[in-house]
Structure 1
Amino acid sequence: MEVRYTMKDFPEPGDKDLANGISYMNKSDFKNALKHFEKSATYNNEYGLLFFGIFLLLGFGLSKRDPAKALDTFKKVAHLFSNRVAHYLIGILYYEGDKDVPQNIQSAYHWILNAAKLGWIDAMSQMGFAYCSGAFGKEDKKKGVHWLEKVVHNDSRDTVLYLFGNKEFQIDMTHQDDIVLSSVKGVTAASIISPVQCAAQCFAANPFSSNGIIYRAIFWDTMTNRQNTSLATSQLILGTVYMEDDGISTDKKKKAIALLKKSGENGNAKACLTIGHLYEMGNGVDQDYSEAMAWYLKSKDIEGEVDALQSIGRLYFTGHGVKQDFMLALSYFNTYNLHAEDREVYYMMAEIYKIGKDYKQSFLFFSKAADLGHAASATRLGLFYRIGFGVEKSETKSFAWMQKAAALNCPMAQFTLGQMHYDGYKGKSDHVKALDYFEKSLKNGFAPAAFMVEQLKFQKSLRDLHI
């Protein structure tokens, strides 16, 4: 990346050193660039100060980063020139905290709000997210929507990139590596990027390493004020907020879905995943498993969204929208398991192995799911011990697993415990406990329990009449 600086016809004090600093920066000679930016800053040159502060934040030309001195420099730019970039960087430094800069949420709110009012798009996105999530203390969805809608409906879509949103600083990306450009696009579409975190990661990775070059490019991208930097994330958050409205109208739901789709089309993997779920469940759209699969695959392809692997595997497991394929389902589940644990995934894997009569593997995955609190899996383990699938028969262990599942309100487990007490667990029949479990099972929706409840109540009435 190179910055083409257009000096004014009548240069201001410090402009010449600013131009020299940018020239050295373009050659990746950060030490000399820093010297010229610092000299420009001594003239209270607006962008000399801003570049100097940024170099302090990034640690360019230094043996270590100096966030505290960067903060003081940004405050000077903000007070002298009401510079929106400086306001934003101060706000993020306070919001996250950094070396020798204690976190201060109240100050962060003040500075980021100022940057948003001055038109810095990422600040608007931050305000929207913070209000919707309660990050500034009290959640306020109405204010959050106000700022997010400003981002979404902003029409500043320059095809040419300008650093700080200032046309004096045009960015030339023609010589930038495609891998770097792709990384920038993917990362900025996934979330609102913190320039402070990015600065720290760039320095830690070494600015001249392959990762450092990517972090450097991402950082400068956050300094462009182009809408695309936070558009996809703002569309995702706004669409989600609309969908979570309890009294959402049909028109507003359509608007929410349209926003989520745009976010997905703009490269946000979580938005693609959300749209996939809506199509799978038929929420706000006609149920369409094939469309759900298409969005899940898009989510996976964008940045390997882990939850998309689970969803794709689930559709192959059920055969919804695709030809049922247990081997493909297992492949996606196994890949998912490298990154996360999910009881539903373990349960589906166990069911696949059970269908294939590999009871030992089935028992293993039912155990994993049950350990994570999956009631149906605990019930399956109880049945395995009762029947002897993959393990030695054990009435005691079967009863113990059924109790765990019943405590999690599994109606099948409650029914089975009722049967065990009715038939005589450990040789002793207990109709009182049996009736209790059958009634719980019926209450939780297991219809076959109704017959046993009636039977036991009838038998009890006969006993009460001494018949």
Structure 2
Amino acid sequence: MIRGTILFICTQCKKVFLALDIEYNATSLSVSMPCERCGSTRTMPLQQVEMEMWVEEMDRESLEDRLMKKQLIYKGPGAVHIEQKNTPDEQYHTGMMYLNGTLRICGTDDVAFYWLMKAAKQGHAQAQYQVGKMLCHRSCIDEYLQNPPFCYTEGTTFQWMSKAAEQGLPEAMCYLGNMYHIGKLIEKNLDKAFAWHLKASMAGCAASEYAIACLYKQGEGVERNTFRALRWCRKAALHECPEAQLRLGIIYESTGKERHFLTASTFYRQAAQQKPEAWLWSGIVYDNSGKEWAFYTDFSSYQWSAQQKQAEAWQRLALLYEIGKGVEQDFQKAWECYLNAWKVGNEKAYLEAKRLLGEGLANPEISTLKEWYRDCITQGHKEMWYDLGKIYYDGKVGERNLKEAFQCYLIAARTAHVVEAQYALGCMYEQGKGVQPDLQKAVRWYKEAAKQGHVEAQAACGRLKEHEEQL
């Protein structure tokens, strides 16, 4: 099986190179990999150099012959054949399969980087773009790996992006424009930022069209012009750029005109329904904090911000459904939009969805509601055990199940200290519903609820106390 990647040294030409670490016969040994320079299979891992004398005693030639004939690697339970990856296209597609998770092994990112780097060195534009992104987002590479004879990574993010951009790759030109705008990895140059985005937009890059709108809006790299900013923003929105669609929806809604609410809802819906990778492609997001427009090269920060923007699109659409602006008032659809916003990562949307349920405005199917409660519990909202218990107590999922309701109430009371769950437990213990009657436990749960100000629990404590005095 593949254990990741490892540094090998060739005993013929002394080349040090990175290759797949494939275990030999379920031992700690590694299969010899062909040298990148001379093609020799007389190679060994660097950590095994001190065992060279012992290794040389093995029948290396016969082992290498068998391996070169079979070319087997192991993925999961079965063995599959691996073809020689000699062309840049084959190397690029292999790297992307590891990068996208189609192939999963230990050290997947390193293996992906290995194949993409091989393709990039041969002039493959897409591979150069991916290598540039990975160099920007990955952790720092050890210094000794950056120098000869290792040369694990050759070049910087800027250099690889420049090579890809010079070949006319729109994504690379857009990325270069962003880099020049923020000045994080290279010196900030707004004129070059605008120029690269203009080239990318001419090649059909919607993200760069939106970036040009941002630059016109702020007057960076070009004279400030609100009309041109809106024109470029609309152009990007029509070309399926989600950030532009969200921004344009906000602009139309802000006019306050009835006829513009419908257009705003259309753009919100288009932005919200975009696939996650569409939000993660351009490297540009609209930001409400501080600056009006923000650019990101740090992947984790950008990923979080992009998710928040997609959630904002769902939440704004939900509000239009709730108030009936631009669309027919529909609380059920509003609840579904709030639910989608929560799934993307907006915790405020969770509260709004719960509010619509509590006010009885939304009435989703019980199966959908039950699934959402369990998702909420998984995400750490332990108070939702009480809501799940109510479904079982009321018999909304078939026959009434008091035992299941009791267990849900008990978890909610113990883990989240839900006052309604504490009072419900007191009632169930007092009345013997779903559990054996026990007045002492009933009083204990009534007191817990009473401490939190539950009026009915306080009355129950007084009633049971009078009952004990009469006895």
The TM-score bracket by the shorter chain reads 0.3 to 0.5
Q: What TM-score do you get using the length of structure 1 for normalisation? A: 0.40
Q: Which has the higher contact order (CA 8 A, sep 6+)?
A: 1
Relative to its length, the structure with more helix (as a share) is 1
Bigger fraction of residues in strand: 2
